[in-house]
Amino acid sequence: MSQRKEVYLVIGGSGFVGRHIVEHLLARGDIVCVFDIVQRHHDVDFYSGDITDESQLLDVLGKTGTTCIIHTASPPHGAKDPSIYYKVNVDGCKAVIAAAQAAGVTKLVYTSSAGVVFDGGDVINLDERAPFPEKPFDAYNDSKAQGEKLILEANGKGGLLTVALRPAGIFGEGDRQMMVGLYQAYQRGQTHFQVGDNNNLFDYTYVGNLAKAHLIAADKLSSPSLPTSSQETLTTDSLKAE
Ligand code: NAD
């Protein structure tokens, strides 16, 4: 029996992570479209739109016949007005879920953040079972946590399977945040300071591996062995990229 060919819509596909996901999908011969408020790349079908507008999403999902959404969009960390985070990451996720269910999309992969469990203190050996902190670290991380919760709660509802990934720091080709920040610190002469006792650790992930993890997560969503009940997530073991 021939299987239906997946059609991917990468929301935020003009961004750093989204762009790598698009390239990985193209490299394996998949059908890919991008939905974003800005257009930075021109080698795939591009749809200009804002995820907070459900009707724009519905229109694009219908036009493209999308079967799998990979949702990477978010305002970058450090915005002056925190309300933008709640608008895009919380209201935006609600609109993405509603549009996906209405359009018959079967899979939704969400780029969350390791910051959803960060409260400013040490984070040691936490896994997916850890609760969100009672006092969120900041509006960005709080909005990412709320968005992630909505996405996972939508799992198995309205014909939609969902999963969320939580990267920490991301590095690699096309980064416009981390290296810029490091370079600005260098320009300010802030090269001689130490945080704590110099033994602090932080997770960094290569963007290419993260892109692969998104593809593996999407593929795993159609695996018959996958749990479909709400709140169950893929473990990091099942997502190991080669
Ligand atoms: P990015 O800023 O490079 O890309 C985000 C994209 O989303 C941009 O192209 C932007 O135009 C688009 N976008 C923003 N608001 C939108 C809206 N309302 N409608 C449609 N598109 C919109 O960011 P990135 O570094 O690629 O991050 C991707 C995801 O990974 C984000 O969800 C972010 O929270 C998460 N994340 C990033 C890092 C990191 O270190 N970069 C770490 C952890 C998690």
Q: Whose CA is nearest to atom 9 of ligand 1?
A: 15
Distance 2 CA to ligand 1 centre (A): 35
Q: Which residue's C-alpha comes closest to atom 19 of ligand 1?
A: 50
Ligand 1, atom 25, lies closest to the CA of 16
Neighbouring C-alpha atoms within 13 Å toward the C-beta of 170: 26
State residue 42's pLDDT score: 80
Cα 240 to averaged position of ligand 1 atoms, centre (Å): 22
The residues, any chain, with a CB within 8 Å of residue 47's CB and separated by 6 or more, are: 9, 33, 34, 35, 36, 60, 63, 64
> What pLDDT score was predicted for residue 225?
53
For the CA of 73, the closest atom of ligand 1 is 7
Ligand 1 near 124 CB (within 6 A):
no
- Does the annotation mark 107 as catalytic? no
At residue 96, what is the residue type?
A: V
pLDDT tens, position by position, 26-63: 999 999 999 999 999 888 999 999 999 999 999 999 99
The domains of the chain, with CATH numbers, are 7-172+201-231 (3.40.50.720)
The SS3 call for residue 136 is coil
Q: Confidence class of residue 3 from pLDDT cuts 50, 70 and 90?
A: low
